[in-house]
């Protein structure tokens, strides 16, 4: 890293009760995470999104100057595990809000861990 | 995802007091995370490691069938933030052990969060 102090906020969000159709499209999920980074005021440096195949989930990450946003999805369980870890002035809560709005989960378990 | 149930163990490890020379080499850090995945019995599907430049840190991730290992380093602060998130039978604690041994930190703050 460099520009930012290592102090950061790490939000861990477990989304249950998500429609399977929202969890299997790697292209749509990458677009969602990029929109979430933008909402947070964070800057992507690389992204990789791996689809496990038709009807299956996606595992992906957006690496940021400020750390990362990751997602792992299980359409067959209506579940997604999202991490938003950001240092500096970026707003990880705004990223989680954007992802929450798009996934429209039945329930969300959100935890925040201070890092650094 | 698919093969694995969404239930997982997520270990968050903050390493302080690490020699700067261990935190700036993206190639060495990728090799370390791949060795850690191997120690855990996990299977990488993709990796990306971004160096911020000479004397600066590295941000990187190894995407796994079982979720991910990420690292963000600040050589100038002797600090690295590592996440090991694994589902299925993989052993995230073994990955953290391998990374701890290589970083030889002055202190480690380790937290475990159940996911899924």
Asked if the model's pLDDT at residue A50 lies above 70, the reply is yes
What is the spatial distance between Cα A108 and Cα A15, in angstroms, rounded to a whole number?
A: 5
* pLDDT the model gives residue B2: 46
Write the CB contacts of A55 (distance below 8 Å, at least 6 apart in sequence): A24, A75, A76
Q: Which residue in A has a C-alpha nearest to residue B55's C-alpha?
A: A2
State the pLDDT confidence band at A2, using cuts at 50, 70 and 90: very low
CA separation for the pair A89, A105 (Å, rounded): 28
**Contact assessment for residue B76 and residue B69, using Cβ atoms and an 8 Å cutoff:** no
Average model confidence (pLDDT) for chain B? Answer: 95
Q: What is the pLDDT of residues A25-46, one digit of tens each?
A: 999 999 999 999 999 999 999 9
CA distance A71 to B67: 8
pLDDT in tens, chain B (116 residues): 445 777 899 999 999 999 999 999 999 999 999 999 999 999 999 999 999 999 999 999 999 999 999 999 999 999 999 999 999 999 999 999 999 999 999 999 999 999 99
List the beta bridge partners of residue B69.
B62, B84
Active site residues of A: 67, 72, 87
DSSP B56: S
Question: What structural domains does chain A harbor?
Answer: 8-115 (3.60.90.10)
Instruction: Write out chain B residues lying below 8 Å of A30, CB-based.
Output: none
CA-wise closest residue to B104 among B11, B18, B26, B13: B18
Question: If you count them, how many residues does chain A have?
Answer: 116
Residues of chain A contacting B81 with CB distance shorter than 8 Å: 6, 8, 67, 85, 115-116
> In this complex, do B70 and A68 lie within 8 Å of one another by their Cβ atoms?
yes
pLDDT above 90: residue A3: no
What was the pLDDT predicted at A1?
Answer: 42
pLDDT more than 70, % of chain A: 97
Candidates A114, A35, A103, A106; CA nearest to A72 is A103
Q: Please report the ipTM that was assigned to this predicted complex.
A: 0.94
Cα B47–Cα A104–Cα A85 angle in degrees, nearest 5: 35
B9 vs A2, residue with greater confidence: B9
pLDDT given at position A31 = 98
**CB distance B115–A12 less than 8 Å?**
yes
CA distance A50 to chain B (A): 8
The minimum CA-CA distance between B111 and chain A, rounded to whole Å, is 9
């Amino acid at each position: 890293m460099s520009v930012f102090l290592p102090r950061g906020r790490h939000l861990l969000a477990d989304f249950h009760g998500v429609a399977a159709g929202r969890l299997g499209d790697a292209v749509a999920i990458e677009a969602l995470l990029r929109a979430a980074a933008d909402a947070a005021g964070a800057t992507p440096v690389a992204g990789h999104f791996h689809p496990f195949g038709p009807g299956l989930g996606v595992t992906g990450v957006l690496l940021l100057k400020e750390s990362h946003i990751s997602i792992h999805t299980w359409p067959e369980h209506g579940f997604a595990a999202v991490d938003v870890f950001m240092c500096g002035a970026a707003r990880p809560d705004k990223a989680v809000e954007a992802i929450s709005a798009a996934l429209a989960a039945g329930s969300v378990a959100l935890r925040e861990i201070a890092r650094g």
